[in-house]
Amino acid sequence: MQNDCGNIWLTVNPADIDLLNKIIEGYEHLGVLSTIDRHNGLVVVRGTADTRRDLMHILTNLPFEISIKNGPAV
């Protein structure tokens, strides 16, 4: 069973997915972005319980709008 406590599900404008991926990649070792539904902008940032706080700080201070979800709603 996979531990999901560090994963952060969110929606973003599909045009901003690439930029979000580059931002997350720039913070090495915090998390990895996976696109779930590129047409609807559903993505998950796969982190750990230890990196979740830092990831949330980054995600809530982006230069574009996102919507954080409770979990996979596909």
- Residue 61: C-alpha distances to residues 36, 56, 58 (Å): 22, 9, 5
Q: Is 28 helix (H, G, I), strand (E, B) or coil?
A: coil
Among 11, 8, 13, 53, CA closest to 32: 8
Write down the pLDDT at residue 2. Answer: 45
Identify any residues that bridge with 47 across adjacent strands, giving them in sequence order: none
8-69 adopts what CATH topology? Alpha-Beta Plaits (3.30.70)
pLDDT digit string (tens) for 15-67? 999 999 999 999 999 999 999 999 999 999 999 999 999 999 999 999 999 99
